[in-house]
């Protein structure tokens, strides 16, 4: 028969020690910043059929919760929860999803216990969503977008590392008040300036002209710069009660350009047209009459540049407001929001100068 072994002093000390270790772990976890991950889809949530597949895979397969579970280290940097906003490739992000996402970000950030937001997204239109949020988020708390160029199943999948870095940045005090950011590949970029530059490579998001806000090295964020243009709480855009955004299209400039793309837009009843002009925003003589017709009808025309960087030249031979250095896709975002406030061209030009 086994003899009953009375509890030794040693055992009691061990039990008390374990209790305090567990207590300190749980209070450490509770003291970590609270970050909400809003998932919208994209390659970061995509899967292929083998580790070799890096194109033609399915975007938007993994759910928000699956993304969180795939990065266990997240629990050591923040208290992270996840919500699904959509699960689509970013080519299918539309104004409805943009408004839903932005409204949710504002509601969450208004809660005192939430420290920051991370959004997972496809890379293709990431900069449009990021810039939209940069203009409509009404908080100085960090909002960070991240993505991946490889599906989760690929041998060089970059999503898990990018998600971890995004949460680290969103959880950092220093990230507050820097506008909406994109974190990928160890770089912290400003939504206002960064753009996707390569259709395939992991290192696709670049800000050639202005540089980066900072870097993440060995999972520590290092901030160096601040974006010069006004953002978030310093803009007049309030989407709280907006149900839709005005129809704004982009027309691309090229040799032998045809005016009927503009005429079709006018006939369709658009509220704004962005011209992705050649060079410094030049417009072919062939489209100028259509542009003048658009302006007579009260449609706001903005000239941008298809080159992807540099400033649009103020030339009286051309028609429309100046986007300055804002690329066509971000000019469309700003023009939509500007048109929710006014359709007075000088006031809209002022917004293009400020934001
Ligand atoms: N087509 C994908 C998307 O934008 C590409 C990506 O996420 O990298 O959703």
Query: DSSP letter string over 134-202?
Result: HHH---SS-EEEE--SS-TTSTT--HHHHHHHHHHHHT-GGGTTS-SEEEETTEEEETTT-EE--SS-T
What is the share, in percent, of the chain residues with pLDDT greater than 90? 90
Confidence label for 1 from pLDDT (cuts 50, 70 and 90): very low
Helix %, strand %, coil % of the chain (to 5)? 35, 20, 45
CB within 8 A of 341, min separation 6: which ones? 236, 237, 347, 351
What per-residue confidence (pLDDT) applies to 27?
A: 63
Return d(Cα 146, Cα 119) in angstroms, integer.
6
* 43 Cα–ligand 1 center, Å: 5
CB within 8 A of 23, min separation 6: which ones? none
Q: What is the pLDDT of residues 118-132, one digit of tens each?
A: 999 999 999 999 999
The whole model's pTM is what? Answer: 0.92
**Mean pLDDT value across residues 308-332:** 96
Return d(Cα 291, Cα 181) in angstroms, integer.
35
| Both structure tokens of 292 | 């003048």
What per-residue confidence (pLDDT) applies to 20?
A: 54
Q: What is the pLDDT of residues 142-175, one digit of tens each?
A: 999 999 999 999 999 999 999 999 999 999 999 9
Return d(Cα 248, Cα 251) in angstroms, integer.
10
* 148 Cα–ligand 1 center, Å: 8
What is the share, in percent, of the chain residues with pLDDT greater than 70? 92
Question: Does residue 4 carry a pLDDT above 60?
Answer: no
Sign of the dihedral through C-alpha 161, 32, 104, 327: negative
Q: What is the pLDDT of residues 280-308, one digit of tens each?
A: 999 999 999 999 999 999 999 999 999 99
Q: What is the pLDDT of residues 48-85, one digit of tens each?
A: 999 999 999 998 899 999 999 999 999 999 999 999 99
What per-residue confidence (pLDDT) applies to 145?
A: 98
With tokens 């243009």, the residue in question is 229
What per-residue confidence (pLDDT) applies to 29?
A: 78
What per-residue confidence (pLDDT) applies to 182?
A: 98
Taking alpha carbons only, the member of 146, 134, 58, 65 closest to residue 98 is 134
Ligand 1: atom nearest CA of 43 is: 7
For a ligand 1 pocket test, name from 91, 97, 205 the mutation site with the most ligand atoms within 8 angstroms of its C-beta. Answer: 91
**Mean pLDDT value across residues 131-147:** 98
What are the φ and ψ backbone dihedral angles of 42, each rounded to 5 degrees? Answer: 95, 180
Give the catalytic positions in this structure.
43
Atom 7 of ligand 1, nearest CA residue: 122
With tokens 């923040």, the residue in question is 78
| Both structure tokens of 259 | 């005016």
Q: What is the pLDDT of residues 178-234, one digit of tens each?
A: 999 999 999 999 999 999 999 999 999 999 999 999 999 999 999 999 999 999 999
Question: Does residue 256 carry a pLDDT above 90?
Answer: yes
* 52 Cα–ligand 1 center, Å: 17
Return d(Cα 277, Cα 324) in angstroms, integer.
12
With tokens 């609270």, the residue in question is 34
Ligand 1: atom nearest CA of 44 is: 7
In whole numbers, what is the pLDDT of the chain averaged over residues? 94
* 198 Cα–ligand 1 center, Å: 12
Question: Does residue 13 carry a pLDDT above 80?
Answer: no
CB within 8 A of 228, min separation 6: which ones? none
What per-residue confidence (pLDDT) applies to 10?
A: 67
- 280 within 8 A of 308, measured Cβ to Cβ: no
Ligand 1: atom nearest CA of 88 is: 9
Query: E-assigned strands of 45-129?
Result: 79-84, 116-120
- 207 within 8 A of 192, measured Cβ to Cβ: no
* 134 Cα–ligand 1 center, Å: 20
Atom 1 of ligand 1, nearest CA residue: 89
Taking alpha carbons only, the member of 254, 281, 251, 253 closest to residue 268 is 251
Residues in a beta bridge with 21: none
Taking alpha carbons only, the member of 141, 128, 148, 118 closest to residue 57 is 148
| Both structure tokens of 169 | 């940045």
Taking alpha carbons only, the member of 311, 312, 325, 320 closest to residue 348 is 320
- 35 within 8 A of 82, measured Cβ to Cβ: no
Return d(Cα 184, Cα 218) in angstroms, integer.
14
**Mean pLDDT value across residues 96-116:** 98
Ligand 1: atom nearest CA of 124 is: 4
Say whether 229 sits in a helix, a strand or coil. Answer: coil
**Pocket residues for ligand 1 (CB within 6 Å)?**
42-43, 59, 89-91, 122-124, 147, 149
Output the CA angle 268-272-276, nearest 5 degrees.
Answer: 105
């Amino acid at each position: 028969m086994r003899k009953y072994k009375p509890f030794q002093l040693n055992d009691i000390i061990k039990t008390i020690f374990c209790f305090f270790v567990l207590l300190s772990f749980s209070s450490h976890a509770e003291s970590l910043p609270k970050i909400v991950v809003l998932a919208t889809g994209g390659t970061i949530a995509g899967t292929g059929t083998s580790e070799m597949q890096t194109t033609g895979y399915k975007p938007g397969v993994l759910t928000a919760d699956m993304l969180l579970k795939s990065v266990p280290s997240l629990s050591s940097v923040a208290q992270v929860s996840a919500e699904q906003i959509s699960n689509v490739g970013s080519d299918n992000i539309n104004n409805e999803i943009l408004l839903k996402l932005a409204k949710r970000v504002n509601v969450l950030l208004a809660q005192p216990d939430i420290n920051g937001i991370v959004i997972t997204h496809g890379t293709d239109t990431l900069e449009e969503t990021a810039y939209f949020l940069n203009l409509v988020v009404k908080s100085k708390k960090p909002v960070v977008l991240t993505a991946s160029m490889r599906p989760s199943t690929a041998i060089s999948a970059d999503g898990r590392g990018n998600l971890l870095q995004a949460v680290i940045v969103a959880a950092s005090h220093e990230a507050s008040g820097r506008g909406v950011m994109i974190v990928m590949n160890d770089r912290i970029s400003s939504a206002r300036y960064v753009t996707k530059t390569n259709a395939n490579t992991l290192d696709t998001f670049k800000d050639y002209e202005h540089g980066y806000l900072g870097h993440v090295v060995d999972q520590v964020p290092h901030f160096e710069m601040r974006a010069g243009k006004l953002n978030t709480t310093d803009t007049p855009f309030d989407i709280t009660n907006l149900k839709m955004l005005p129809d704004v299209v982009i027309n691309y400039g090229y040799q032998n350009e045809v005016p009927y793309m503009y005429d079709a837009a006018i006939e369709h009843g658009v509220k704004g047209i962005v011209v992705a002009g050649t060079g410094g925003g030049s417009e072919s003589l062939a489209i100028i009459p259509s542009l003048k017709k658009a302006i007579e009808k009260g449609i706001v025309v903005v000239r941008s540049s298809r080159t992807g960087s540099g400033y649009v030249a103020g030339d009286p031979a051309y028609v429309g407001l100046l986007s300055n250095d804002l690329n066509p896709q971000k000019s469309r975002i700003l023009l939509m929001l500007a048109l929710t406030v006014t359709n007075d061209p000088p006031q809209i030009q002022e917004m293009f100068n400020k934001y």
